[in-house]
Every structure is written in structure tokens, then in C-alpha cells.
């Protein structure tokens, strides 16, 4: 009997050793995975830093330091921080904080490495915000002076998740060791089979296969252990998919923004170079080039404004809506109609609020006015309709705004994607009319912020009808 007991005690020791090894492998694989994400982040921040440098450097070379500061300050969102620093370490502009509130940055690691001629991305906790950030600094030389343009990406979630998962692994390991020391000597003979299956799945997870399924027995002591491992694996898998989705979205968005900005910038540069290089340019051609530069500048400005608006809306998603207040929805719609009437008159179109229910809502009147204005502008630009009508109604506990045109309509195959960023039915026509491809995406995010929705339908007799729906008071 004593020999049998000693044998039973030996088995847990061997099993515990195996678990420790497997946990080490899992920890190593997790570290490799996290490092891969970190390296991808570093690559992306270098791309963003180069894009912003191309925008800022011409302003500095022209001595437009105030315009450079204002440009840096426009990048005001949680995920991206832009800082312009003089070669003396003084902060000239910062998109997240007042420049005069920030200390001298000359000894910051990323700034020092940039000034030394070997810029490197640095991940550390921000001394001003306390959050984990990844920094990349680039030296910009202009008018005999050096400036440091620093781009920072918020990696707090990634770093926090990495530390959380590592802590969870160590905690689970400690709890597992304690539990196994107490229980496994007695029940090893009953759970040998389930443990083997569990171990095989954990081996696959340790090798990086997070899609491996964890077998959960129908009974026995292994069942809760396997279930906990299964839940942990599901959480890791969910976080991985979220990170991959976020990265794909960020990469696509940056690519689209870069492409959209490049087109008008190229047109402006070509026109400016033509004017600069041709001394005897005919007045008619000169006027055409100036008109082109003005039009492309307006398009670029509209694009930047829409990007900033969309970024602000995304930043506000999930926040408490304490700034919301009660107002008549028809007042916001009427304001949007008045804003668009002049443009409509120039096009020979008529914009009318035909039905105005006194329904009240809780929200941001300015944002809802913008949403309705975007719908009206979209109808005026692309529908070809001679009239756009608006109607405000109440359906049960919901307030509804209908924007109705009688133009060419939108083919049904485009309906699932028209609210995506930069999605256009006819790209060339949209750009020729000054569209940014973000108007309907802004509408969608405004409605999400108000716990509402936007839908499209066909107008009887031809055309398109957009409906905004949100909770009524």
C-alpha cells in the first residue's frame, strides 16, 4: 500500500513538471506573438511619421511655423499624438496637450536618438499621460534650424493586454500547481485519459495554434479545469481576432487616406510647378491652373475636415453621453435644410421640409444637423433630382427623419457598402463633384453615437430614401 501511495505521489510530480514546461512554452509563444504585433506597430508608426513629415516640412521651410503648429494640433485623437519640438527641446506644438504645459523634451529617448542621427522607435510610458505609447521621432531641417517631429501611437491596450495575459498565465500556473499537489495523487488514475487529451490540446496551443479545441469531459475533476482552459483560450482567441481586425482596419484606413490626400496634392504641386517654371504663361492657362489649385485645395480641406470629424466620432463611441440634451428634432432638420438651400438653389433644386412632427430627442443637435446636411448634400450631388424633401415623424417610441429624392436612385447591390469609409459607387464622378467618400460614414457614426441607425430604401417612382431612426422622448 505504501509503495502504491508513493507511486501515486510520484505521478503528480512528473505531471507538474510537464505542466511547468508547457506553461513555459505557452509563455514563450505568447511573447513571440506580442513581439510580432509590436514590430507591426513600429512599421506602421514609421509610415505615419513619414506621411505627417511630408505635410509639415513645406510649412516649416516657408517659415509658416504657426501653420505647422496648427496642423500638428489637428491630430487630436486618442490613438495618435503629434508633437513638434525645437532643437533646444522646447515643445512647439502637441496634439494632446498645451505646448506650454509640457517640459523640455531634449532628453527624451526618442528625441535624443533622432538628433544623434539614428532615429529609433521607442515604446515606454508617457511621462505626461502615464499611458504606454510607441514613439518615433524624425529630424526636419528648415531655414537653418532643426525641428523634431515626433509621432506617438497609443499602444496602452496592447501592452496592458500582454501584461494581463502574462499575469494570467503565471496565476493559472500557480493555482494549477497548488490544486494538483492536493488532488492529483488521489485522482490521477481516474483522470489519466482526459488529462492526456487536455495536454495534447495545450501542446497545440503552446505551439501557436490558438484554434485548437479544448476537450471538456462530461464529468470528473478534469471537467472544470478543461472548461477554464477552454474559456482562457477563447478569450485569447477573441483578443487575437480583435487585434487582427483593428490592425486590418487601421492599415486599410491609412492606405485610403494616403491615396485620397495624394491625388489633390499631386494636382496642386503640378499646377504650382507649371506656374513657377513658365514665365510667359498665357492668362487663360494661368487662370485655369489657379482655379485647379483652388478646387483641389478645397477638396483637400474637405477631406481633412471629414477625417477629423470621423475620428472625433469614433473617439466618442462608448463614452457617457452626459453632454446630450433634449431638443425638437425638427429644429435640427430645419437648420440643415436652411444650410443646404443656397447650394440647392444654385443647382436649380428645391429642398423642403414637408412634414414636421414635434417629436423630441436626447442628443447633440449640431451632430444631427450635420447628419441631415450630409444626406441632403449627397442627394443634391449624385441623385440628379430636382427636389429633395424632408419629413420628421414619430413611430412608436422612435423618432424618424426621412430624406427623399426622386433622382437616379442607388442600385441595390451597393446598399450593403454605401456607409463604408471611402466607398463610392462612381469614383470619378464623386471626385469631380468634390466628394470625399466619408459623408455617409459620418452619418452612420453619428447615429451610432445616438443609439440610432440609418437605412436606405427606394423612393416610389424612382430615387432613394434615407431614414434616420433614434430613440424619442
Taking only the tens place, the pLDDT of each residue in 302-321 is 667 766 766 667 666 655 56
pLDDT per position as a tens digit, 54-85: 888 888 888 888 888 888 877 755 667 888 88
Confidence of residue 120 (pLDDT cuts 50, 70, 90): confident
Res. 431 pLDDT band, cuts 50 70 90:
low
Superfamily of domain 1-251: PAS domain (3.30.450.20)
- pLDDT tens-place string over residues 287-301: 777 777 786 677 666
Domain ranges in the chain?
1-251, 252-316, 325-471
Please name the residues in contact with 367: beta carbons below 8 A apart, sequence gap of 6 or more. 313, 446, 449, 450
Q: What is the pLDDT of residue 8?
A: 47
With beta carbons less than 8 A apart as the criterion, state whether 359 and 472 touch: yes
Classify domain 252-316 at the CATH topology level: Helix Hairpins (1.10.287)
Strand order in the sheet with 398-405: 350-356, 387-395, 398-405, 464-471, 453-458
pLDDT 10s digits, 2-22: 344 344 445 556 666 666 776
CATH fold for domain 325-471: Heat Shock Protein 90 (3.30.565)
More confident: 7 or 29: 29
pLDDT of amino acid 172: 66
Give CA angle at 446 (442, 449), nearest 5°.
140
pLDDT (tens digit per residue) in 130-139: 777 888 888 8
Radius of gyration of the CA atoms of the chain, in A: 30
Closest-CA residue to 430 (of 260, 297, 286, 254): 260
- The residue-averaged pLDDT of 445-469 equals 90
Confidence of residue 1 (pLDDT cuts 50, 70, 90): very low
Q: Which residues contact 34 (CB under 8 A, 6 or more apart)?
A: 158, 162
Q: Which three cell numbers stand for residue 121?
A: 522607435
The three state secondary structure string of the chain is CHHHHHHHHHHHHHHHHHHHHHHHHHHHHHHHHHHHHHHHHHHHHHHHHHHHHHHHHHHHHCCCHHHHHHHHHCCCECCEEEEEEECCCCEEEECCCCHHHCCCCCCCHHHHHHHCCCCCCEEEECCCCCCEEEEEEEEEEECCEEEEEEEEEECHHHHHHHHHHHHHHHHHHHHHHHHHHHHHHHHHHHHHHHHHHHHHHHHHHHCCCCCCCCCCCCCCCHHHHHHHHHHHHHHHHHHHHHHHHHHHHHHHHHHHHHHHHHHHHHHHHHHHHHHHHCCCCCHHHHHHHHHHHHHHHHHHHHHHHHHHHHHHHHHHCCCCCCCCEEEEHHHHHHHHHHHHHHHHHHCCCEEEEEEECCCEEEECHHHHHHHHHHHHHHHHHHCCCCEEEEEEEEECCEEEEEEEECCCCCCHHHHHHCCCCCCCCCHHHHHHCCCCCCHHHHHHHHHHHCCCEEEEEECCCCCEEEEEEEEEC
**pLDDT in the model for residue 388:** 92
252 against 196, higher pLDDT: 196
Q: Is 70 exceeded by the pLDDT of residue 184? A: no
- What is the reported pLDDT for 258? 58
**% of the chain exceeding 70 in pLDDT:** 71
Q: Which of these ranges, 218-232, 273-287, 342-356, 402-416, has the smallest mean pLDDT?
A: 218-232
Say what the pLDDT of residue 377 is: 87
pTM equals 0.44
- The pLDDT, as a whole number, for residue 16 is 64
Q: Please give the residue that has the higher pLDDT: either 261 or 249.
A: 261
Percentage of the chain beyond pLDDT 90 is 12
On the question of pLDDT at 428 being above 60, the answer is no
Amino acid at each position: 500500500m505504501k509503495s502504491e501511495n508513493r507511486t501515486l505521489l510520484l505521478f503528480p510530480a512528473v505531471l507538474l513538471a510537464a505542466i511547468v514546461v508547457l506553461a513555459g512554452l505557452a509563455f514563450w509563444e505568447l511573447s513571440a506573438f506580442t513581439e510580432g504585433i509590436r514590430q507591426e506597430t513600429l512599421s506602421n508608426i514609421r509610415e505615419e511619421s513619414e506621411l505627417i513629415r511630408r505635410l509639415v516640412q513645406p510649412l516649416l521651410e516657408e517659415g509658416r511655423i504657426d501653420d505647422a503648429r496648427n496642423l500638428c494640433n489637428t491630430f487630436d485623437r486618442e490613438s495618435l499624438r503629434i508633437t513638434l519640438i525645437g532643437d533646444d527641446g522646447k515643445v512647439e506644438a502637441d496634439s494632446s496637450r498645451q505646448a506650454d504645459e509640457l517640459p523640455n523634451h531634449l532628453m527624451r529617448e526618442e528625441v535624443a536618438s533622432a538628433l544623434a542621427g539614428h532615429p529609433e522607435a521607442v515604446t515606454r510610458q508617457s511621462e505626461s499621460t502615464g499611458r504606454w505609447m510607441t514613439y518615433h521621432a524624425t529630424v526636419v531641417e528648415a531655414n537653418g534650424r532643426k525641428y523634431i517631429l515626433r509621432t506617438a501611437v497609443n499602444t496602452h491596450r496592447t501592452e496592458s493586454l500582454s501584461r494581463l495575459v502574462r499575469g494570467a498565465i503565471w496565476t493559472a500556473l500557480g493555482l494549477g500547481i497548488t490544486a494538483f499537489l492536493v488532488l492529483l495523487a488521489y485522482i490521477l488514475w481516474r483522470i489519466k485519459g482526459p488529462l492526456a487529451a487536455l495536454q495534447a490540446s495545450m501542446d497545440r496551443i503552446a505551439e501557436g495554434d490558438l484554434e485548437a479545441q479544448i476537450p471538456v469531459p462530461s464529468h470528473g475533476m478534469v471537467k472544470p479545469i478543461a472548461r477554464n482552459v477552454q474559456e482562457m483560450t477563447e478569450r485569447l482567441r477573441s483578443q487575437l481576432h480583435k487585434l487582427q481586425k483593428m490592425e486590418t482596419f487601421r492599415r486599410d484606413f491609412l492606405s485610403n487616406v494616403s491615396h485620397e490626400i495624394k491625388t489633390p496634392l499631386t494636382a496642386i504641386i503640378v499646377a504650382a510647378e507649371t506656374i513657377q517654371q513658365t514665365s510667359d504663361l498665357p492668362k487663360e492657362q494661368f487662370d485655369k491652373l489657379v482655379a485647379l489649385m483652388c478646387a483641389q485645395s478645397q477638396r483637400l480641406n474637405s477631406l481633412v475636415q471629414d477625417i477629423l470629424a470621423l475620428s472625433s466620432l469614433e473617439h466618442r463611441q462608448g463614452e457617457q453621453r452626459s453632454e446630450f440634451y433634449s431638443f425638437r428634432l425638427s429644429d435640427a432638420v430645419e437648420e440643415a435644410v436652411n444650410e443646404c438651400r443656397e447650394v440647392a438653389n444654385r443647382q436649380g433644386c428645391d429642398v423642403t421640409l414637408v412634414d414636421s412632427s414635434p417629436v423630441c430627442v436626447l442628443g447633440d443637435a449640431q451632430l444631427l444637423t450635420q447628419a441631415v446636411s450630409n444626406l441632403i448634400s449627397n442627394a443634391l450631388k449624385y441623385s440628379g433630382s430636382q427636389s429633395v424633401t424632408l419629413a420628421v415623424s414619430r413611430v412608436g417610441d422612435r423618432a424618424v427623419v426621412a430624406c427623399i429624392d426622386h433622382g437616379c436612385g442607388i442600385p441595390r447591390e451597393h446598399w450593403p457598402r454605401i456607409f463604408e469609409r471611402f466607398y463610392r459607387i462612381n469614383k470619378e464622378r464623386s471626385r469631380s463633384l468634390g466628394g470625399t467618400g466619408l459623408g455617409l460614414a459620418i452619418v452612420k457614426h453619428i447615429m451610432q453615437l445616438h443609439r440610432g441607425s440609418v437605412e436606405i430604401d427606394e423612393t416610389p417612382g424612382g430615387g432613394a430614401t434615407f431614414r434616420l431612426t433614434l430613440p424619442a422622448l
